[in-house]
């Protein structure tokens, strides 16, 4: 929900003619990738000419549509099971994985178990977690930031290994973005409109630990299974230098209420700007469509400090030979 992570939510990947054209895509995590808030979907789909994933609960996701993949993400969740405990009806990570197992059974019934296993093994997977654990989890106040970050990473490792056990072999894992700079935090906790140092520190500690953990897993597995996405660097430049990217501001959301339009969701009672393309944030939590276009560029062609060990374009070429 409060993670400025970057997300590749698209399927049936289309690349140059010599590259295989069909591939499933699965999405797990929090509100930045759930179907309700995910503006990356049209951005990525337009770029690679693909059909978008459907939420797993959609009545339209059946039959051959299952080959497209599915979105299992749910707003309000985190790495820890008690993150978002105040919310009703959210789908925590262990429940998302239970649905993924159910999905595989349904897919097997349509195309057979052997082919279903191949679809899952060759799919692209996106996992986005972490920000909510720092922002809305009471347990975070029981630790120092470094200790809490290490604890989160230990639990995240278990989640990623479970995903591997369920068949995922190419997973984009997003770190947290500049948590202290989103309009919601500016509205609630900033006295001068500046990013919150505590949350910025949390991101700077958590992300390197995540990157090291994915490298360790890859070494253990003997493959580039997990790809670390540096969401902080992908976001921070247009946040600190909005005019460079053609934005009027990166502090105020395009739609919302209260200071910086950072209180509450976007709804019919919200203040709505006249030109949404001039804002780096759409609402209190999520980047605008234009901001996402800059992020998507980095997902595809970013250097190793942004996409480690390889970017999405390289992934698509390498995996075309599977």
Q: How confident is the model at residue 15 (pLDDT cuts 50, 70, 90)?
A: very low
Identify whether the C-beta of residue 255 lies closer than 8 Å to the C-beta of residue 273.
yes
Residue 223 to residue 170: CA distance in whole angstroms: 9
By residue range, what is the domain housing residue 151?
A: 25-235+306-319
> DSSP code of 182?
S
Strand 307-308 and strand 255-256: the pairing is unpaired
Cα–Cα distance, 41 to 52 (Å, whole number): 6
CB-side neighbour CA atoms (13 Å) of 243 = 0
The pLDDT of residue 35 is 64
**99 in a domain, yes or no?**
yes
CATH number at residue 180: 3.40.50
- Report how many domains make up the chain: 1
The pLDDT confidence band at residue 80, using thresholds 50, 70 and 90, is very high
**CA 224 vs CA 126, 168, 203, 207, 294: distances in Å:** 14, 12, 24, 18, 25
For 219-251, how does the pLDDT look when each residue is reduced to its tens digit (9 = 90+)? 999 999 999 999 999 999 999 999 999 999 999
Note the pLDDT of residue 298: 94
* β 124-128/25-29 pair status: parallel
Q: Active-site positions?
A: 31, 283, 286
- Please name the helix (run of DSSP H) or strand (run of DSSP E) that holds residue 251, with its range, or none: strand 249-253
Residue 51 counted as domain residue: yes
Residue 48 in any domain: the answer is yes
Dist. CA 39–CA 317, nearest whole Å: 25
Q: How far is CA 118 from CA 67, 68, 196, 314, in A?
A: 11, 13, 45, 21
- How far is residue 154's CA from residue 298's CA, in Å, rounded to a whole number? 28
Residue 123 lies in a domain: yes
pLDDT digits (tens, 9 = 90+) for 127-140: 999 999 998 877 77
11 falls within a domain = no
Spatial CB neighbours of 39, under 8 Å, sequence gap ≥ 6: 282, 286, 287, 288, 289, 292
The CA-atom distances, in angstroms, between 281 and each of 21, 171, 242, 269, 293 are 33, 26, 11, 18, 12
The 3-state DSSP composition of the chain as helix, strand, coil percent (nearest 5) reads 45, 10, 40
Cα distance between residue 310 and residue 226, in whole Å: 10
- For residue 244, tell me if it sits in a domain: no
Least confident of 31-40, 144-153, 179-188: 31-40
Q: Look at residue 16 and tell me if it is in a domain.
A: no
Q: Tell me, yes or no, whether 1 lies in a domain.
A: no
**Sign (positive or negative) of CA dihedral 153, 159, 164, 169:** negative
DSSP 3-state assignment of 40?
helix
Instruction: Please tell me the distance from the alpha carbon of residue 224 to that of residue 242, in angstroms, as a whole number.
Output: 34
Bridge partners of 271? 256
């Amino acid at each position: 929900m409060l993670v400025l992570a970057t997300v590749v939510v698209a399927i049936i990947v289309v690349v140059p003619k010599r590259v295989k054209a069909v591939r499933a895509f699965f999405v797990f995590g929090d509100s930045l990738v759930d179907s309700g808030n995910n503006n990356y979907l049209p951005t990525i789909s337009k770029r690679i000419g693909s059909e978008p994933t459907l939420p797993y609960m959609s009545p339209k996701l059946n039959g051959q549509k299952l080959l497209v993949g599915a979105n299992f993400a749910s707003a309000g969740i985190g790495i820890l099971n008690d993150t978002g405990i105040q919310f009703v009806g959210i789908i925590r990570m262990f429940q998302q994985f239970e649905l993924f197992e159910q999905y595989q059974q349904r897919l097997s019934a349509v195309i057979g178990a052997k082919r279903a296993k191949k679809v899952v093994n060759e799919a692209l997977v996106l996992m986005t977690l972490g920000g909510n654990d720092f922002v809305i989890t009471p347990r975070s106040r029981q630790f120092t930031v470094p200790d809490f970050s290490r604890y989160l990473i230990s639990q995240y490792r278990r989640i990623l290994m479970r995903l591997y056990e369920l068949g995922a072999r190419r997973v984009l894992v997003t770190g947290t973005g500049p948590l202290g700079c989103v309009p919601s935090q500016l509205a609630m906790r900033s006295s001068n409109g500046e990013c919150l140092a505590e949350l910025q520190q949390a991101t700077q500690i958590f992300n390197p630990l995540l990157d090291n953990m994915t490298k360790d897993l890859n070494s253990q597995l003997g493959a580039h299974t997990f790809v670390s996405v540096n969401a902080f660097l992908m976001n921070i430049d247009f946040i600190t230098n909005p005019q460079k990217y053609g934005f009027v501001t990166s502090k105020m959301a395009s739609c919302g209420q209260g200071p910086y339009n950072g209180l509450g969701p976007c709804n019919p009672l919200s203040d709505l700007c006249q030109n949404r393309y001039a804002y780096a944030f759409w609402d209190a939590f999520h980047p605008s469509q234009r901001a996402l276009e800059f992020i998507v560029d980095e997902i595809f062609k970013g250097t190793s400090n942004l996409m480690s060990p390889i970017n999405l374009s390289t992934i698509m070429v390498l995996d075309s030979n599977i």
